[in-house]
């Protein structure tokens, strides 16, 4: 016994053979069955993981989209209330990251539990909304608005494409199709699109910071270019491309193994 | 490059692909890949079985040809 423990009731029944086989290693005569059994176990694990990933992915996407929608809706609602309260109308609002000019800057805040006043350090990055100073939109403002809208549409389209590709890959894994040329090209495309999203997000942030710096200057905060680069998407994109190279190598090895007689 | 002369040896021994595949315990599809030179590698066990059935040496089946000349 080299490494396979068998309990064969009917040697001609391949199904029973497979069910009762217990793998400890490989033997010459039973290597094929061991490989089949190992592949079955691996594929089972792969299917379970793919299903879990698909569920998590759908829930996370739904949750994040819903949160963004609720945040956007509440921001719009607050702006509407502000306009009603102060009887003013505005053209544009921007959400900006601000950096305090001094680390020692402190602000008063109220503890609603006991109404006591508290001191706090402002966060390194915070958000404000502000009204566009130009009541009459100039040609340059219109150009910026068009660029802003185009960037938004491009980023959204890229995200949709990535979503579709990820779902396709997970479904393909569930069908036990792992080392396929289609999956390689899909993963390659995802990596490239994520890098493009990173670059577009950076351009979008740059445009907003550029417009804000041209329009306003605050006493205690500054609008800086330091946090405009979308490193997250760029790094994830590069990691995906790296994983894709590993997958290409694995597919090549699989092909070679298939062509070994 | 390595040239596979399996078809020559099969013709000499007057054995068909299906017959050889049954005796060697390799599928006809895989044997066809080997015969047409599409195979990337050959296991020693396969080579041993083929040599045994065809009663020949590995050198009769495999041949090195210098394609740079």
B9 touches chain A (CB under 8 A): no
pLDDT tens for each residue of A219-248: 777 777 877 888 989 999 999 999 999 989
Burial of A143 (0-12, 13-18, 19+ CB in 10 A): exposed
Note the pLDDT of residue A102.
66
Percent of chain A predicted with pLDDT > 70: 71
Note the pLDDT of residue A185.
93
Residues B40 and A258: beta-carbon distance below 8 Å: no
Burial of A223 (0-12, 13-18, 19+ CB in 10 A): buried
Residue A205 and residue A129: Cα distance in Å, rounded?
15
Determine the average pLDDT of the residues in A173-182.
82
B34 touches chain A (CB under 8 A): yes
Closest-CA distance, A259 to chain B, in angstroms, reads: 5
Determine the average pLDDT of the residues in A27-54.
68
Determine the average pLDDT of the residues in B9-13.
88
Is this complex scored with an ipTM above 0.85? no
Closest-CA distance, B8 to chain A, in angstroms, reads: 18
Residues B53 and B17: beta-carbon distance below 8 Å: no
pLDDT tens for each residue of B25-36: 888 888 898 888
What ranges do the domains of chain B cover?
A: 2-58
- Other beta carbons within 10 Å of A177: 12
Note the pLDDT of residue A38.
61
Note the pLDDT of residue A255.
84
Interchain contact, A256 vs B43, CB within 8 Å: no
Determine the average pLDDT of the residues in A4-30.
41
Closest Cβ opposite residue B34 in set A28, A255, A261: A261
Helices (H), B1-69: 6-13, 17-24, 28-35, 44-54, 58-61
> Quick one: which of A86, A149, A129 has its CA closest to A215?
A129
Determine the average pLDDT of the residues in A29-50.
67
Structure tokens that stand for A64 in this block: 């994040």
For residue A130, CA distances in Å to A89, A174, A218, B4 come to 12, 49, 12, 77
A104 touches chain B (CB under 8 A): no
Structure tokens that stand for A97 in this block: 């990251």
Best residue of B40, B44, B62 to probe chain A, by most A CBs closer than 10 Å: B40
Residue B45 and residue A32: Cα distance in Å, rounded?
14
DSSP code, position A177: -
Note the pLDDT of residue B2.
87
For residue A116, CA distances in Å to A107, A109, A111, A206 come to 14, 9, 5, 40
Determine the average pLDDT of the residues in A40-54.
81
What ranges do the domains of chain A cover?
A: 135-261
Asked if CATH classification 1.10.260.40 holds for the domain at B2-58, the reply, yes or no, is: yes
pLDDT tens for each residue of A191-218: 999 999 999 999 988 888 888 788 777 7
The region of weakest confidence among A14-28, A35-49, A235-249 is A14-28
Given a cut of 80, whether residue A98 has pLDDT beyond it is: no
Average pLDDT, chain A: 75
**CB under 8 Å to B8, separation ≥6 — which residues?**
none
Residue A27 and residue A3: Cα distance in Å, rounded?
6
Residues A260 and B39: beta-carbon distance below 8 Å: yes
Residue A50 and residue A171: Cα distance in Å, rounded?
8
Note the pLDDT of residue A11.
41
Note the pLDDT of residue A123.
58
B41 touches chain A (CB under 8 A): yes
């Amino acid at each position: 016994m080299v490494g396979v423990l068998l309990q064969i009731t009917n040697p001609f029944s391949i199904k029973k053979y497979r069910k009762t086989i217990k793998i400890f290693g490989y033997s010459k005569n039973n290597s094929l069955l061991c490989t089949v059994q190992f592949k079955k176990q691996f594929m089972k694990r792969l299917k379970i993981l793919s299903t879990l990933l698909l569920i998590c992915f759908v829930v996370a996407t739904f949750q994040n989209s819903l949160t963004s929608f609720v945040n956007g809706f509440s921001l719009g609602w607050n702006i509407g209330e502000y306009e009603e309260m102060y009887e003013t109308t505005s053209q544009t609002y921007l959400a900006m990251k601000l950096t305090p000019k001094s680390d020692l800057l402190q602000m008063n805040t109220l503890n609603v539990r006991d109404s006591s006043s508290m001191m706090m350090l402002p966060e390194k990055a915070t958000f404000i909304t502000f009204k566009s100073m130009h009541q009459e939109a100039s040609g340059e403002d219109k150009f910026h608005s068009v660029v802003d809208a185009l960037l938004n549409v491009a980023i959204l389209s890229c995200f949709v494409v990535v979503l579709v590709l990820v779902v396709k890959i997970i479904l393909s894994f569930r069908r036990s199709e792992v080392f396929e040329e289609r999956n390689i090209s899909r993963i390659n495309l995802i990596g490239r699109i994520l890098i493009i999203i990173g670059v577009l997000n950076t351009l979008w942030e740059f445009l907003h910071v550029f417009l804000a710096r041209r329009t306003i200057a605050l006493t205690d905060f500054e609008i800086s270019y330091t946090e405009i680069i979308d490193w997250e998407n760029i790094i994830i994109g590069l990691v995906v491309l790296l994983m894709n190279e590993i997958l290409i190598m694995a597919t090549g090895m699989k092909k070679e193994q298939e062509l070994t007689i | 490059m390595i040239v596979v002369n399996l078809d020559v040896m099969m013709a000499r021994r007057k054995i068909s692909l299906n017959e050889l595949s049954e005796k060697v315990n390799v599928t006809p599809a895989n044997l066809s890949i080997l015969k047409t030179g599409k195979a990337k590698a050959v296991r020693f066990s396969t080579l041993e079985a083929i040599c045994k059935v065809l009663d020949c040496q590995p050198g009769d089946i495999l041949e090195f040809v210098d394609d740079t000349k």
